[in-house]
Amino acid sequence: MGPIIAIDGPAAAGKGTLARRLAAELGLPYLDTGLLYRAVGRLVLDVGGNPSDVAIAEAAARRLDPADLDRSDLRGPAADAAASGVAAIPGVRAALLDFQRGFAARGGAVLDGRDIGTVIFPDAPAKLFVTASPQERARRRWLELRTKGEDADLATVEQDLRARDERDSARAAAPLRPAADAVVLDTSALDADAAFRAALAAVREKLA
Ligand code: CDP
């Protein structure tokens, strides 16, 4: 069985890009666990529900189908906020647990999210907590939105991102925080290639 590599960190820290490249380099499958919460949030919005409504959100999490992860409307401010709303509900997190564990049980995996190293795979041999300053993360997310042709405002992007981190950190269920044995990687001053090299070196050292 291959290793499990846990990549956690705040919003728009570049976890996805990094995790995808690590997975390709190490020959492991990759799961973006944020997509699970995004898809549940979307299912709640589809029925006109409020993402903080426990009964509606839990029902959506229970009927989540892997095909929902391929929806094209899982990014953007509304999806961000809906994901963070449903993610605070313990029953939603519980309903998504088996899928995440099952995904990696088949032969190891790289997973990125908020609680991979703390809750989903507390025994993972390699854990990274990837972060960057809020300003730098906002700039990256803003550039990403602009590249997609969206007319985003940088100050609003930073405000939304700070609010989401605050909610993700303050919640009682699996709050955003580094695992005690995670390697913290601050990518504020690193470009994508430098961040990848630093992450790969840290993972190789942990797996050695
Ligand atoms: O890509 P970005 O960093 O903006 O967000 P994401 O990783 O797709 O996660 C979206 C939201 O889902 C987060 O703000 C969290 O509230 C939630 N999430 C979570 O609670 N636990 C995870 N393992 C992954 C995401």
**What is the tens place of the pLDDT at every residue in 45-99?**
999 999 999 999 999 999 999 999 999 999 989 999 999 999 999 999 999 999 9
Residue nearest to atom 25 of ligand 1 (CA): 34
Q: Which tens digits make up the pLDDT trace of 152-162? A: 999 999 999 99
Has residue 189 got a pLDDT over 80? yes
Instruction: Please give the structure tokens belonging to residue 162.
Output: 């700070």
CA separation for the pair 41, 37 (Å, rounded): 6
Has residue 1 got a pLDDT over 90? no
CA of 79 to the centre of ligand 1 (A): 10
Residue nearest to atom 7 of ligand 1 (CA): 34
CA of 12 to the centre of ligand 1 (A): 9
All structural domains of the chain, each given as residue ranges with its CATH number in brackets, are 4-207 (3.40.50.300)
* Average confidence (pLDDT) over 156-169: 96
CA separation for the pair 45, 56 (Å, rounded): 10
Closest to 132 in 3D by CA, of 195, 193, 197, 179: 195
Task: Give the chain's count of helices (H) and strands (E).
Answer: 8, 5
Give 71's DSSP letter.
Answer: -
- For 48-58, b/e burial (b = at least 16 CB within 10 A) is ebebebeebbb
Instruction: Please give the structure tokens belonging to residue 6.
Output: 């846990």
Ligand 1 pocket residue status of 33, Cβ below 6 Å: yes
Averaged pLDDT of the chain? 96
Rg, C-alpha atoms of the chain = 16
Question: Which pTM was predicted?
Answer: 0.96
Closest to 41 in 3D by CA, of 61, 25, 21, 22: 61
pLDDT of residue 28: 98
Cα 12–chain centre separation = 9
CA of 11 to the centre of ligand 1 (A): 7
- What percent of the chain clears pLDDT 90, i.e. is strictly above it? 96
**Residue 182 backbone dihedrals phi, psi, to 5 degrees:** -85, 145
